[in-house]
Amino acid sequence: MQIRGAGEADIQPALELMRDAFALPSATPPTVHTFVAALPAGRLFVAVSDGQVVGTGACVSFGSTGWIGGVAVAEPARGSGLGRALTLECLTALRECETVLLLASEAGRPIYDRLGFEPEEHFRVFLTAETGDRRPTHDEFRALTRADREAVLALDRRVTGEDRTAAVVPALDGALATPDLSAVALRPPFRARPILARDPEAGARLLGAVVEPRMRVAAPGSNVAAVSAMAALGAERAGVTRMRLGPPVPWRPSELWGVFALFFG
């Protein structure tokens, strides 16, 4: 068994493994995992046995904080400690980070408990309905401009307590916002609409405007207004637990209305 950085030929097998492990709708790039792998501070790892990808995991550093995600193991290799080994590989890559975060499934959580991660928040997850007729009106929201960049980055830092510039900047093109930037729906180069909102009413309106059919959306369980809005849009799926290794980050879950993915919130 070898754990190494993913090469070009490993990407599709890794995505297919994650699709099967997490019941994702497809394994077609771009995904959050290929996005992370392309970032200067991102890594995508694979575990290879007899020439086959049997495990994968990824991580990304945002300076003082880092995230681990996409840890998946092929069914025949489960129970062998491979998930723990992949997590340790990611932790080694993030060794300069003060705090490491992740969103753990129920199945994966025992690994992280044993490694010293602490639970912080439960995230509620929903799959939106097949169809929807809500669309933004011309005067309700506006496209972001180049002049909005620093304000949006400041809003993201306020909500997440992290400097996620490397992830936010590629998601500005095609983003929508309220005129006063009290709520922003980013548009990353994969199928997701992360939403930051200081104003709960604006967050709810923006969420209803930008979600697409069969889109997975998630919010902190303590953000009751966001959870209520998401529940009106689709069916609930298994949630995840935000876990932390290291000192807490000063984030604001009440202002997080949608995540990039169940990778780095």
Statement: residue 134 has pLDDT above 60? no
**What is the predicted pLDDT for the residue at 21?**
86
Average pLDDT over residues 165-184: 96
- Tell me the percentage of the chain whose pLDDT exceeds 90: 89
Average pLDDT over residues 246-254: 98
Mean pLDDT over the full length of the chain: 94
Sign of the alpha-carbon dihedral angle for 93, 99, 102, 106: positive
**What is the predicted pLDDT for the residue at 210?**
93
Query: What is the third-level CATH fold of 126-258?
Result: Aminopeptidase (3.40.630)
- Confidence bin at 138 (pLDDT 50/70/90): very low
In the block, residue with structure tokens 């995991």: 57
Which range, of 20-29, 153-162, 250-259, averages the lowest pLDDT?
20-29
Beta bridge partners of 195: 185, 258
Q: Are 2-97 and 126-258 in the same CATH fold? A: yes
Statement: residue 34 has pLDDT above 50? yes
Statement: residue 127 has pLDDT above 70? yes
In the block, residue with structure tokens 């996005």: 35
Q: How far apart are alpha carbons 21 and 252 in whole angstroms?
A: 30
Confidence (pTM):
0.94
**What is the predicted pLDDT for the residue at 180?**
94
2-97 CATH: 3.40.630.30
Which range, of 24-28, 57-61, 209-213, 238-242, averages the lowest pLDDT?
24-28
Average pLDDT over residues 140-165: 96
**What is the predicted pLDDT for the residue at 61?**
98
Structural domain spans, the chain = 2-97, 126-258
**What is the predicted pLDDT for the residue at 39?**
96
Residues 222-235 have pLDDT tens digits of 999 999 999 999 99
**What is the predicted pLDDT for the residue at 241?**
98
Q: What does the buried/exposed string (b/e) look like for 143-176 if buried means 16 or more CB atoms within 10 Å of the residue's CB?
A: ebeeebeeebbebbbebbbbebebbbeebbeebb
DSSP H or E stretch at residue 245? strand 234-245
